[in-house]
A and B are shown apart, each in its own frame.
Chain A
Amino acid sequence: MTRILAWQIGLGAAILAAWEWGVRAALLDPFFVSRPGAIAGRVAEWTMSGAIWAHLAVTLEEAVLGLIIGGVLGIGLGFILARSSFAARVADPYIKMLNAVPRVVLAPLFLLWFGLGIWSKVALAVTLVFFVMFFNTYQGVRDADRVLIDNVRMLGASERQLVRHVLVPSALTWIFSSLQTSLGFAMVGAVVGEYLGSARGLGYVISQAEGTFDTTGVFAGMFVLAVVVVIVSAGVTRVERYLLRWKSS
């Protein structure tokens, strides 16, 4: 474990060192790729001044709202369609069509519908999270072990109890396994939304930097985003490990 960590740190350090050296040796042009030292300086400056926290809070708020709303809708519809094969067949082509729409195309529409505030970004995150949650719930319910269902039926379960004791837990294992993906998508939705039109958030910070050819600002924004996602993922992994602790010994 510590060996892996050492290698992980080593790999990152080597890449950063090569990058820094490349710029200093004039092999790379800092106008295009900036420089790790400068990026670190910018991140430090942002955190010291506190300017980044407000943007970060907005982005996280949008992502979490997107995750919750997309999750509720996706899990809800996944359940309904998994329990009714008639409804599933009717809805099938529409779900495929909607899932094939590139979300970026929707962003301007959402801006038009929901305005420049957080809700247009939430909506974008929802369209991404929804399908991941939907497909996993659908699979999870459909995949529920036949023998478990029969056994619980024999032990006296009503339809509602069957859902509660077998179908929901079975679907939850799928949903939790996809939570990392959903979380990443929620962040992507929020940031892309901000990038395309907003006055706050990490996406806004990055787009402002790009507007002034400030590559250091762009990389610093990406770095903050990456660090946040890694931290949140680690939290999700812990929750997941606790909730799915029954899986293996």
Chain B
Amino acid sequence: MIHLDDVSRTFGTPDGGSYRALDRISFSIAAGTFCAIVGPSGCGKSTLLNIMAGLIPPSSGALRVGGAELTGVNRRATYMFQQDALLPWKDVRDNVALGLTLAGVARAEAHARADAWLERVGLTAFRRHFPSQLSGGMRKRVTMAQNWIIDRDVLLMDEPFSALDIHTRQRMEAELLGLWESSGEAPRGGAADTRLDESRTGRKTIVFVTHDLEEALALADRVIVLSAGPASRVVSDHVVAIARPRDLLELRTQPGFLDLYRTVWADLRDEVIKSQREAHG
């Protein structure tokens, strides 16, 4: 679904110099995969996600989405940002329906479909509230409904739950997995499914950026570790072979999970130490 080929990104700095955030990143994410990207703070994870979203172009290298070179905003993806991105002046229902409204869906139909989604995320009673009247967890649920209602192939997520308290966060992770696992069949092996670029028939492709390895391993099929910035590259790439559906509350204490955690953490730890050395001179 997503192919990055030697993607680099350099930013100009205020003093006239340049800062290389990403250095020749290459990987492919198959359709229907839940892929997590982890790395220490400042490693360019968000930059990478913004490039996949088409919000910023790569300085060099190629990015293909669904087989086509990406130019401009990625129309096959939606994006859950770290910060709140609900429109504060629209009520919950209008926020959920926003993607439909923008696509020209009639108001009555857009509202009906938004109501159905609000029921799914348990916020029917709050549909006429404004975002400022909701808790952080509720706002995230509204955001999930807003992203899911227009049913794009790809969902990009940039540390979406990092601002929540630990319990709310675990609940949101479970809800996310619930939505995703029930959104279609996992891609099966076989000739028809080896073409990465065919349009999605089952689950969304999720790219989930986080600095929390535990969260990454609990949610994803695959974890890509980025090195400390500047000039981040891919350090390693791990498959998370834990069966689905997953029980997030029990998962973290299971031996298989802990072994995997140790393996990936060995890669990540070095990068975290490097980034801390960088930050403290």
Residues of A within 8 A of B (CB): 147-148, 150-158, 161, 165-166, 169, 173, 245-249
Contacts and interface: CB of A to CB of B under 8 A. Distances in A.
B73 A154 contact: yes
B36 interface: no
- Chain A contact residues, majority secondary structure: helix
B99 to A, nearest CB: 4
Contacts of A154: 53, 55, 73-74, 77-79
Contacts of A150: 53, 55, 79, 81, 85
**The 10 A-B residue pairs with the shortest CB-CB distance in the complex, in nearest-first order:** A151-B85, A246-B130, A249-B133, A155-B99, A154-B79, A156-B102, A169-B89, A147-B85, A147-B83, A246-B89
A247 to B, nearest CB: 7
Interface in B30-62: 53, 55
Size category of the B interface is 20 to 34
B132 A247 contact: yes
Contacts of B227: none
A155 B98 contact: yes
Contacts of A147: 81, 83-85
Contacts, number: 62
A155 B78 contact: yes
Interface in B67-89: 73-75, 77-79, 81, 83-85, 87-89
A153 B87 contact: no
A153 B89 contact: no
A248 B103 CA distance: 30
B275 interface: no
Given A150-B53, A155-B102, 19 more contacts: A147-B83, A147-B85, A152-B87, A153-B55, A154-B53, A154-B74, A154-B77, A155-B78, A155-B99, A155-B150, A157-B102, A158-B102, A165-B87, A166-B87, A169-B89, A173-B89, A246-B88, A246-B132, A249-B130
Nearest to A169: B89
B205 interface: no
Given A169-B87, A246-B89, A156 B81 contact: no
A27 B106 CA distance: 74
A156 B103 contact: yes
A248 B102 contact: no
A153 B133 contact: no
A55 B110 CA distance: 51
Contacts of B55: 150, 153-154
